[in-house]
Amino acid sequence: MYIIVVCNFSPLLLSAQEDSAKTEKKPMIYLRYYVINNEVPYVNIQTKNKIDRDFLPQAKVSVKVYLDNDADDKSLVGTVVTDNKGIATITLPAPLADIWKQKSSHTFFAHTDSTADFGAATEELAVNKSKLELDTARDGETRTLKARLLKNNNGSLFPMAKVDLRLAVKRLGGYLNIGDEQTYSTDSTGVVQAEFKRKDLPGDSLGNLELVALVDDNDEVGTLETRLKVPWGMHTKFVTNFNNRSLYATGNRAPVSLLVMALGCIISVWAVIIYLVIKLFQIRKLGAKEV
């Protein structure tokens, strides 16, 4: 009898153990280093919980970020709270500018305290200071885009070879490659160049396009992006049809043909209804006379 009871409850015990294993959370922090137009760098922070095989963003997590030394409050870059998507960004404050200039490489440390939704976690990211240059050239009808990637080493800049670099045009929905290749690899001088093949591409009101050189999440230098405006696009002029009659306008600005059709249908329906009502009254009068 005792054995039967244990066998009956063993599936429940196993399911309970499986449920507890599935709900176990592993807190994780992701750090990415960004530099836009060789200006002040910033760090992108993401907080996620690993549940089983899923990585779920965790919002409202307080993260402390340090530069080079996470045991010294003077090295504190700042404290940020992630948004509803589990993302936050932080830039270097002015008091740490001198420390940033002293060395060519730095390490960022991120720490979180344990809470009900997110446990204590630590992450670090080592980066080298670098510079991404972008320039253009034109030979007749051929337009060329040239980028150069340099890494800082003890105050001097040296070219970085064999780094994948993307050349593109910034559009409303993202980046459009300037040619057939997705990325280009830098040579021994840290240079890549490619022909601009996007003909008759609409630009702004002055015909300007925003060209972009992009290094995406490199192990040494992080994510670098340099932008340059050039008059290689077509002039565009915004024309509004707000006051014109159209199908998507308000009722009083609908097309005349549509108004005539709609009013014609309404008048026709009501004319038939009125005609039938009149005939019913006439039939009733005729019936009353015969009686």
DSSP 161-224: -S-EEEEEEEETTEEEESSS-S-EE--TTSEEEEE---TT-B-STT--EEEEEEEEEETTTEEE
| The token pair that represents 218 in the structure block | 């490199």
DSSP SS3 for 37: coil
* pLDDT mean by block of 10 residues, the chain; 291 residues: 45 50 79 94 95 90 94 92 95 91 93 92 94 92 93 91 94 89 94 90 87 93 94 78 74 82 93 93 81 60
Contact 29, 110 (CB under 8 A): yes
Residue 291 is predicted with a pLDDT of: 60
Rounded Cα distance, 41 and 224, in Å: 9
pTM of the predicted model over 0.75:
no
Tell me which long-range contacts 82-85 makes (C-beta under 8 A, separation of at least 24): 82/45, 82/46, 82/47, 82/58, 83/59, 84/59, 84/60, 85/57, 85/59
273 secondary structure, DSSP code: H
Domains along the chain with CATH numbers: 23-128 (2.60.40), 130-230 (2.60.40.730)
Residue 251 is predicted with a pLDDT of: 72
Q: Cα 160 vs. chain centroid, distance in angstroms?
A: 28
